[in-house]
Structure formats: structure tokens, C-alpha cells
Amino acid sequence: MNSMSEYVKPRKNEFLRKFENFYFEIPFLSKLPPKVSVPIFSLISVNIVVWIVAAIVISLVNRSLFLSVLLSWTLGLRHALDADHITAIDNLTRRLLSTDKPMSTVGTWFSIGHSTVVLITCIVVAATSSKFADRWNNFQTIGGIIGTSVSMGLLLLLAIGNTVLLVRLSYWLWMYRKSGVTKDEGVTGFLARKMQRLFRLVDSPWKIYVLGFVFGLGFDTSTEVSLLGIATLQALKGTSIWAILLFPIVFLVGMCLVDTTDGALMYYAYSYSSGETNPYFSRLYYSIILTFVSVIAAFTIGIIQMLMLIISVHPMESTFWNGLNRLSDNYEIVGGCICGAFVLAGLFGISMHNYFKKKFTPPVQVGNDREDEVLEKNKELENVSKNSISVQISESEKVSYDTVDSKV
């Protein structure tokens, strides 16, 4: 068995070495770690495969389905930019990075759970379109209340937890600026400990999947695809349920592509640190900037969803509430603004990095350098003194030997 393990292990290391060499030779990928780029390119490959299969099915069943399938895929891409998606994925990614279980695939599992609701709903609607359509409004209302409540609660909880984390990061940066301390012990208070216990509940892919599933109960996505399925069944009599399943499948892969890209890039942005001279400062610096944007986004979307929940239960008429309704109808614009805010924050952080790095360089570093110089000089003096003592000892020994020889 030893010979087999010795034979297999070099083969594995050799394969990984060749893969890493090939990967880092690609110009536009050399700056992205495989943990970030592999999920993104995997979803791109999945989208290509799904579209090849969809094209084959459409050519065999009915070519007029192409525009409907393309519309479903576009709806998936659009819905992935909804504010609740972007905010939840970014905040979950940030929280998991503060634990010992960081993940770059938060967006993937979240969107798969979200799309599962779409898939189940489309199957039910396609199988019972005539009977289910009459009761759809009540079902949609109840699901909307449940989904919005869970989404609002999670986003506000994430906002509070990340606020605690932002305070801790700021404190660590202040301590680093003051005394050069780079340890994180002794900072967590009672509230932070409570938040850590709550967020430990979401520490694995299947739990993120469950969260995405609950978010999907809002039925914003299900309404789009399910109504599309009903319209297709009415327009194309005799279309099989397997052809109808193309709609939620392409919707799923489109939404997964955007959400996975968002989660992976946020993982890279949060875990980024300059490895040139001061990685500790860079890690704190970028984390504070992006965590601040995440907190603002989470509080904003959570409050908007709370107001939307109020107006869904008790409809009100005023300029404010009408504007809120228009905002809810254009939720993807809010999500795009959040993405833009993260991009602008990242560009600001990169452009101002050197300035803040000089400003926050702890003065203790200079003292440490001087102390190191003094210690080196002391060591040199000690070595010189030791050498002189050894020389004196050797000379005395030599003299004693000479005297003994003369006496002999």
C-alpha cells in the first residue's frame, strides 16, 4: 500500500501543478484565484449546455417556443439583480468570511433554492392550469407575506450583525494605528457573541439553499415564470409538460449565473488584501469599506420591505406610498444601484489605498525598527566580546602549555 500511495500522490501533485501553471499563465485570470473564477466559468458552461439542450428540444417540439424560452432566461438574469438577492448574498458572504467556513458559492446555493420554488410552481401550474389559475391570487398573497417577512427579518438581522462587525473592524484599525496591535482577541462583546451564535446557523450550502427557498416564497419570480407557463399552455394546446419545464430551467441557470458571479466577486473583494508590504492593514481597509456599503444596503432594503409589507396588508394612498409601489415594480434598478455602489466603493478603496496606508501606519513600527537595530548591534558586541574572551582564553591556555613544556 505504501508503494501505491507513493505512486498516486506525485501524479496528483503533478496534475495540480500543471493546472496551476496553465491557469496563472492566462492574462485576465492571473489576478483572480481559482476559488473565484471556477464557479463563474462553471455556471457559464452550464448555461451553454442548457441552451444547447433547449435548442434541440425546441427544434423537435415547436420552434415558436424559442422566444418564450429566451424571455424566461432574460427574466432570470433580471431577477438576479433584485435588491433582496444582491443584499442577502453580499451580507451572507461577508458573515461567512468572518467565520472559519468562507464560501465563494453563496450566490449559487441561494439562487438554486430560490429557483426551486419556481420549478415546483411551474410544474403545478402546468399540470393544473385551469383549476389553479382561479386560486392563484390568494396563494400569491399569502406567499408574498411569508416571503417578504422572512426576507425583511433576515436582511435587518444581517444589517445588525454586520454593523457589529464594522464596529469591531474599526476598533481593530484604531488599535493598529495607535500601537501596532494586530490581534483580534478580547474585542467581542455580548451583542457580538449573540450575533455570532445566530449567524452560525447559516454555515453550510444546504442552509443557504433553505434561505433561498424561503426567499422564493415571495412569488415575484414565480409569478413571472408561472404566468408565462399558463400563457404558453393556452397559446400552444397540447404542449407537453416536459417542454414547459424549459422555462423554469433556463430561468434557474440565468439567475444562478448572475448570483454566482456576484457572490464570487464579493468573496474576492472581501478577502482581498495587498500582499506587498502590509496585508493586515489592507485586509481591514477593504473590509471596512465594503462592510459599510453592505450595512447601508441591508438596512435600506430591509426598511423598504417592511414598508411594502405594511402596504400589502393595509393599502394606503399618498404620494409616499405610490412612490413605494413604483419602487417595488422596479426592484432590479435598486439592485443595479447596489452593485454600482459596491463598484464605486471598490474603485474608491483602490485609489485611496496608498493615502490611508501612509496615514494609518503605526508609529510603533519605527520604534520596532530602531529596537531591532539596537538588538543587532548588541548581538554584534556580544559576539565580539565572546570572540575576544575566547581569544584570551586560548592565549592563556597556550601560555600555560608553554610554561608546562618549559618546566618539563
Contact of 94 with 169, CB cutoff 8 Å: no
* Residue 373: per-residue pLDDT: 52
Residue 366 CA neighbour count, 13 Å, CB half:
7
Residue 24 included in any domain: no
Least confident of 280-294, 312-326, 354-368: 354-368
- Dump pLDDT digits (tens) for 184-203: 443 343 344 444 454 566 66
Q: What is the mean pLDDT of residues 258-268?
A: 84
- High-pLDDT (> 70) share of the chain, %: 55
Of residues 324 and 407, which shows the higher confidence score? Answer: 324
Q: Identify the domain containing residue 94 by its residue range.
A: 65-362
Give me the chain's average pLDDT, please.
69
Residue 388 included in any domain: no
CA proximity to 147, closest of 219, 236, 200, 93: 219
Residue 121 included in any domain: yes
What are the residues whose beta carbons fall under 8 Å from the beta carbon of 164, sequence distance 6 or more? 191, 192, 195
CA-atom Rg of the chain in angstroms: 31
What are the residues whose beta carbons fall under 8 Å from the beta carbon of 124, sequence distance 6 or more? 132
Residue 325, all three cell numbers: 409601489
434561505: which residue's cell? 211
Of residues 90 and 150, which shows the higher confidence score? Answer: 90
How far is it, in rounded angstroms, from Cα 121 to Cα 367?
66
Residue 265 included in any domain: yes
Residue 214 included in any domain: yes
Contact of 30 with 24, CB cutoff 8 Å: yes
Residue 9 included in any domain: no
Residue 95 included in any domain: yes
Element (H, E) at 277: none
- Dump pLDDT digits (tens) for 67-76: 778 878 877 8
Residue 386 included in any domain: no
Q: What is the mean pLDDT of residues 348-353?
A: 82
> What is the CB neighbour count within 10 angstroms for residue 221?
28
How far is it, in rounded angstroms, from Cα 233 to Cα 246?
13
What are the residues whose beta carbons fall under 8 Å from the beta carbon of 267, sequence distance 6 or more? 35, 36, 93, 97, 102, 103, 104, 106
* Residue 367: per-residue pLDDT: 44
Q: What is the mean pLDDT of residues 56-69?
A: 82
Q: What predicted TM-score, i.e. pTM, was given to this entire model? A: 0.57
What are the residues whose beta carbons fall under 8 Å from the beta carbon of 360, sequence distance 6 or more? 173, 176, 177, 281, 285
CA proximity to 152, closest of 333, 311, 301: 301
DSSP state of 200: T
411569508: which residue's cell? 146
Q: How many domains does the chain have?
A: 1
* Residue 253: per-residue pLDDT: 92
CA proximity to 39, closest of 263, 358, 366, 313: 263
How far is it, in rounded angstroms, from Cα 398 to Cα 43?
81
Of residues 355 and 82, which shows the higher confidence score? Answer: 355
